[in-house]
Amino acid sequence: MTKRILIFFAALAICLAVLTNAPVASEQPPTTGDVLESITLPVPQDQNAKNYLGVTGEGSFTISQIKAQVVIIEIFNMYCNNCQREAPRVNELYQAVGKNPNQKGKIKMIGIGVGNTPLEVEVFRKTYGVPFPLFPDEDYSIHKATGEVRTPYFIGVKINADGSLSVFHTKEGGFQDPAQFLKQLVAASGL
């Protein structure tokens, strides 16, 4: 009888191990309160994009160098149906920031196209008239570093005085109402 009980608990332990480990990715997606690891991106060639981000020259820059207090990062994929559907609303979010004098210049947006080549990102940008800078993540390195999230995924970060990035909001999937989403972001960021 004792033997049977032991077998039962051993089996129970195995099943619980399967249960708890099933969906775990190699890196965990960022959550509110985390410090986001530095992300390095290429300086865009487009002058308007450079002006928007407040970066100059060539080479690369990090998100903490963006001239802003808050950066909204959209992790997307040109091939992802949900990202395509969400694109007009994401553009509306950008427009809403631009219309508010208290937010314009303080909140900037960027998009990172996971597994996308520069050409694929360009197709996405042109199709939807995306007004903010988009960057390819061809080798999925940024995607891996940010927990291999499903797309679209939004990460709101605050740029601290020391250049570190505090995550104040994350969202998987689209948002219904851009104005409402912006309100949430502003409240959570403490702008």
| Site membership for another protein, residue 8 (CB under 8 A) | yes
Of these, 31, 62, 102, 127, which contacts another protein (CB under 8 A)?
127
| Site membership for another protein, residue 18 (CB under 8 A) | yes
For residue 56, the minimal CB distance to another protein (Å) is 29
Q: Kindly tell me the sign of the dihedral angle through the C-alpha atoms of 111, 30, 54, 138.
A: negative
**What are the backbone dihedrals phi and psi of residue 73, each rounded to the nearest 5 degrees, phi first?**
-105, 125
| Site membership for another protein, residue 149 (CB under 8 A) | no
State the Cα–Cα distance between residues 128 and 125, nearest whole angstrom.
Answer: 6
Other Cβ atoms within 10 Å of 11 Cβ, number: 10
State the Cα–Cα distance between residues 33 and 191, nearest whole angstrom.
Answer: 16
| Site membership for another protein, residue 161 (CB under 8 A) | no
State the Cα–Cα distance between residues 87 and 141, nearest whole angstrom.
Answer: 23
For residue 90, the minimal CB distance to another protein (Å) is 15
For residue 150, the minimal CB distance to another protein (Å) is 8
Measured in residues, the chain has a length of 191
Question: Which residues make up the interface to another protein (CB under 8 A)?
Answer: 4, 7-8, 11-12, 15-16, 18-19, 22-23, 77-82, 84-85, 115, 117, 119-120, 123-124, 126-127, 150
